[in-house]
Amino acid sequence: MQITFLLLYLFIFLLSFYVLSKDDFLFLKKNISMEQMFNIIFALFFLGLLFSRIFFIIFNFKSIFLQPLVFLAFIYYPGFSLAGGFASIIIFAYFYLLKQKIPIGKSFDFFSISFLSVFGVGLLIDVIINFFKNKNIDIERFIIAIIFIIIFFFFIRIILPFQRRGELRDGSIALMFISLFSLIYFLIALFIEKKNLFFLIERDGIFWVILFVFSSLLFFWNESLWLMIKNVIISKKKKGLS
């Protein structure tokens, strides 16, 4: 069943990416084909799974995981690190896109919105299937799915049109997504999973804190907002002196 869901998530991601990028001017201008991007997505998908599994085993080490069959049999010995998979995908995607001279900011923007569709629509389908199978509904997963569906439509209906009008720079959507995803991770951990604040200094918690701060700072830098804020502060100080 886990493999079925993974394939379902991959299909939703590919479909979302195709709809978002098939008529993009920059991709058409640089002659970037959907086949080329889909090959990249497939590679990132399997790399993400591999490193997600590796990081989970590193952080939850048991000698049984040293056996190759146990390492691969994630259905019977489950365990993936979302932080490990997320980080590895970002790093590999950045350097591979850079090497292939594919627009990094634009690609990450489309990756981000497609990822939102997986978390929203994919989780909702997962909840519905489990409801018909087990005759009960997983309230926590249902709430998380609804949250991500709302955010997905917010990005599609409001944020993406801003970028297409040239009011947001390429890459800003991805940085907004990473910041928002990290923040939602904190909120889910605190209010749904009922964790205490000490989880912020645990391995995964530290990663998401760093990612939130780093992506937020990059967003400000990318949009040149620091300069605008600085000018406002200087002008207020001048008014105060006068």
Average pLDDT of the residues in 7-30: 90
Classify burial at 164, counting beta carbons within 10 Å of its beta carbon; exposed 0-12, middle 13-18, buried 19 or more.
exposed
* Residues 45/18, Cβ–Cβ less than 8 Å: no
Report the distance separating Cα 141 and Cα 143, nearest Å: 5
Confidence of residue 43 (pLDDT cuts 50, 70, 90): very high
Structure-block tokens of residue 141: 């997963």
Structure-block tokens of residue 210: 């760093």
pLDDT tens for residues 82-123? 888 888 999 999 999 999 999 999 999 999 999 999 888 888
